Chain A
Amino acid sequence: MKLELLKGSRSRVLAGCLLAVAALFVVRLFYIQIIQHDYYQQLADSEQIKRLTIPAQRGMIYALNGNQPVPLVMNETVYTLFADPATVKDVQGIINTVESVAGGNARSNLDKLLTTPNSRYQILATKLTTAQAEAIKKKGLAGIGFQQESQRVYPEGSLAAQTLGFVDADGNGEYGIEQGMDSALKGKDGMLQSVTDIASVPLTIGSRNVKKPAQNGENVVLTIDRNIQSYVEDALSRQLQKIGAPDGSVIVMNPQNGQVMAMANYPSYDPSTFNTVTDASLFNNNVISLPYEPGSDIKTFTMATGVDTGVVNAQSTYNNTGVINVDGIDIHNAPGDTQFGNITLQTAMNWSLNTGYVTVAERLGGAGQDINLKARQTMYDYFYNRFRLGQLTGIQLAGELPGIIIPPSDPDGNAVRYSNMAFGQGLDVTMLQVASGFSSLVNGGKYYKPSIVAGSVDDYGNYHAAKPTTPTTYIKSSTADQIREMTHVARSSVFPGIDKSGYYMGGKTGTSQAIVNGKYSDTDTIATYLGYGGSQAETKYVIMVRVSGPKFGGSGAAAAMPVFTDISNWLVRYLNIPPQE
C-alpha cells in the first residue's frame, strides 16, 4: 500500500514538475510573444524589412535649336571604383587593370591605397564611364567594388554657363536655372519598404511592403537659342580680346514676348569643372546680377516719359549751351559737343547731349525751369512702375539683384539726382531691366515680363511650349513708335552704312563713369549699346551690350556698338527676316 502510494506520489511529482516546466515555458512564451510583442516585432522588422530610397532623376535642361529642343544639360551614370584592402588578393593585377582602363580617372598612388593597413575602403578611381566599369568588372578581381552615381554633363561645353549654373556635390543647384528652378528640376525621391532576403532582394511576402515611385524632375526648355547663344558668345569674346577689355555681357531678347534668346558673359567658365574655378565671380550672370549706372541708354526712357506725358516730342527744341545748371550744380555735355544753339531733341538724341534730357526732365514739372516734385514723381512713376527699372523682374534665374531708383520722397531723391537720372547716372539697374523696358519702347508700348523658360519636355520626349505671357501696356503705342523712330534716326544718321541694307535698326550708345572707391572715376567707364532690329513693320530682336572692367575707358560707340552690329547683321539672316526695298 505504501509502495503504491509512493509510486503514485513520484508519478505525480514528475507530472507536477513537467507541468511546472511546461507552465514556465508557457509563461515565458506569453511574456515574449504577447507582452514584449512590439519589441521583438521591431527587432525582426529591422532585420527583415528594409527601406530603400528610389532616387529621382534630375530634370534635363534644353535650349532651342530653331523650334526644336536640344539638350544643354544631361545626366550621365558614372562609377566610383573602390577597394577593400583587407580582401584584395592581386594588388599588381588591380593596379595594371585600373591604370590601363581608367587612365586619368585613376588615383596616382594605387599601390599605397591598396596596401593601406586597417582600412576597408579606398577609392581607386572616380567618374568611370559604364564601358570602363564593365571592362574592369570583366577581369573578376577580388576586393574591389563599384558605386553608381549620376552626374551632370554638358554636351555643348561652356555654352550659356552662367545661365545654367551647376549642381554641387550635395545635389543642390547653384546659380542660374539650376538654382532658380532647383525644386522643379530635383523631383521627389521614391521609397521602397519591403521584406528582403540576405542579398537585399525585395520579396513580396509580408503585408507591410510599400512602394512609392520616384517623381523625376521636370525637363526644362530654355528660351535660349543655342545658335544665337553661340554666335553672341563668340562675337563678345572677339571684340573684348580685340580691344583688350576685361569684362562684358550681352543679352538678346524677343521684344514681342519678353523671351531671352541669348545671355552671354565674358569671361566664362566650364560648368563640368566648376570645382576648379578659383574666382567665384565667374559664376555670376552679370546680365541680372550686376546693377550699374546705365548712362545714356536711359535717355530713351526719359524721352519716352516726356513724349507720353505730352510735354515734348522729337522736334521740340531747346537752347543748347553745352551746360545746364540744376540747383547750383553745372551739368555738362560729354566732350566733343558741337551742336550749340536752338536744336531739336532728335539732335540731342543723335549726339547724346545730356542737356537735352535734363531739359525734358525740367519740362515734366510744368513751365518752370526746375526739376520740381511733380517732375520727379512723373519720372519715378515711368521709370519704376512702367518700365520696371530698379526692381526684380522675376526671371526664373537665381542671383537676380534689383538695383535701386531713389524715390522723390527720399531726401536723396532731389532735383540734382533726377537731373542725373535723366541721362542715366544716379540710378542702379541691371541689363535685363533695361533691355526689358526698352523692348516696350520698340514693340508698340507693351511691357512683357522677361522669361527664360520656353516650356518642358515630357518623359516621352515631347516638347510642350509654355503659355505665352500676357503683356501690359505701359505707354501709348504712338509714344513707342516715336522713340523707335528717334533711335533709328540716331543710329542711321550718326553711324551710316554699318547695317545690312533693307532692315530697320536703331539704337543708343551709353558711356557712364564707373564708381571706383566710392567716387566717379575719370578713367574707368561702362560702355553700353542698346538697340533693336527687324523690319519696319515689326521689331524682331533687342540687343544690349555692356563692356567694362578695371582700367577700361572705352566708349559705348567704340567698344559696345561693334558687338551689336556684328550680332545684328548675322541675326537678320539667321531669323530669315527678308530685306525690304
Chain B
Amino acid sequence: MSYQPTTYYNNRRQQNWSRNQNTARFSSAVKLGPVAHTVLVVLMVTVLGLIYLTQATRTTSYDYQSQAIESQIADLSTQKSDLEVENARLTSLNNVKNSNVAKAMTTPSNVQYVQQ
C-alpha cells in the first residue's frame, strides 16, 4: 500500500521543509465531492441568513422595549409634574393663610431688633 497524500494547499513554509526534519502529515479518509461542497455552502449561507434575521428581529424587539420604557418615563414625568402642581397648590399663600397654624398666630405687640 503506497503512501498517497491528500492534495491540500501547502504554504511556503511547508514547501521548504528542511532535510531530516521530524514531520507528520494527516490525511483524512473522508472525501467530499462537488455536490457535498455545494450543499455545505448552501447550509452555511442558510445559517448565516438565519443568524442575520435573528439579530435583525432582536433589534426590532429592543425598539419595542425602548418604546415601552419611554412611555413609562413619560407617564412618570406626568405624575411628577402633577405632584409638583399639587405641592405648589398646597403651599400657596392662600392655603398658608387659611391654615390652622396661621389662624392661631397673633400679631406681636412689640418687636425688638438685636444687632450683631
Q: In terms of DSSP, what is the predominant structure of the interface of chain A?
A: mixed
- Whether B92 pairs with A157 at a CB distance below 8 angstroms is yes
Q: In terms of DSSP, what is the predominant structure of the interface of chain B?
A: helix
Query: Given the complex, which residues of A lie within 8 Å of B64, measured CB to CB?
Result: 201
Taking CB as reference atom, which chain A residue is nearest B56?
Answer: A205
B residues 51-87 touching A (CB-CB < 8 Å): 56, 59-60, 62-64, 67, 78-79, 81-82, 84-85
Taking CB as reference atom, which chain A residue is nearest B62?
Answer: A204
Asked if B36 is at the interface (CB within 8 A of a chain A CB), the reply is no
Query: Given the complex, which residues of B lie within 8 Å of A205, measured CB to CB?
Result: 56, 59-60
B residues 79-116 touching A (CB-CB < 8 Å): 79, 81-82, 84-85, 88-89, 91-94, 111, 113, 115
Shortest Cβ gap from B86 to chain A (Å): 9
Shortest Cβ gap from B111 to chain A (Å): 7
- Whether B92 pairs with A155 at a CB distance below 8 angstroms is yes
Contact of B60 among A76, A155, A203 (CB under 8 A): A203
Query: Given the complex, which residues of A lie within 8 Å of B79, measured CB to CB?
Result: 130
Q: How far is the CA of A226 from the CA of B91 in the complex (A)?
A: 12
- Whether B59 pairs with A204 at a CB distance below 8 angstroms is yes
B residues 1-60 touching A (CB-CB < 8 Å): 56, 59-60
Q: How far is the CA of A201 from the CA of B65 in the complex (A)?
A: 10
- Whether A74 pairs with B88 at a CB distance below 8 angstroms is yes
A residues 99-131 touching B (CB-CB < 8 Å): 129-130
- Whether B85 pairs with A76 at a CB distance below 8 angstroms is yes
A residues 74-118 touching B (CB-CB < 8 Å): 74-77
Shortest Cβ gap from B72 to chain A (Å): 14
Q: How far is the CA of A236 from the CA of B9 in the complex (A)?
A: 103
- Whether B78 pairs with A155 at a CB distance below 8 angstroms is no
A residues 49-84 touching B (CB-CB < 8 Å): 70-71, 74-77
- Whether B63 pairs with A203 at a CB distance below 8 angstroms is yes
* Chain A count of residues within 8 A CB distance of the other chain: 24
Taking CB as reference atom, which chain B residue is nearest A226?
Answer: B93
Taking CB as reference atom, which chain B residue is nearest A578?
Answer: B113
Taking CB as reference atom, which chain A residue is nearest B68?
Answer: A201
Complex interface bits, A184-208 against B, C-beta within 8 A gives 1, otherwise 0: 0000000000000000011111000
Asked if A372 is at the interface (CB within 8 A of a chain B CB), the reply is no
Q: How far is the CA of A156 from the CA of B92 in the complex (A)?
A: 6
Asked if A227 is at the interface (CB within 8 A of a chain B CB), the reply is yes
Taking CB as reference atom, which chain B residue is nearest A148?
Answer: B78
Contact of B82 among A129, A156, A159, A203 (CB under 8 A): A129
- Whether B92 pairs with A130 at a CB distance below 8 angstroms is no
Contact of A573 among B88, B111, B115 (CB under 8 A): B111
- Whether B113 pairs with A579 at a CB distance below 8 angstroms is yes
- Whether A153 pairs with B92 at a CB distance below 8 angstroms is no
Q: Which 4 A-B pairs have the closest CB atoms?
A: A155-B88, A578-B113, A77-B78, A203-B63
Given A74-B85, A129-B82, A155-B88, output 8 extra A-B contacts at Cβ < 8 Å.
A76-B82, A76-B85, A155-B85, A159-B93, A203-B63, A204-B59, A204-B60, A204-B62
- Chain A residues within 8 Å of B, Cβ to Cβ: 70-71, 74-77, 129-130, 153, 155-157, 159, 201-205, 226-227, 230, 573, 578-579
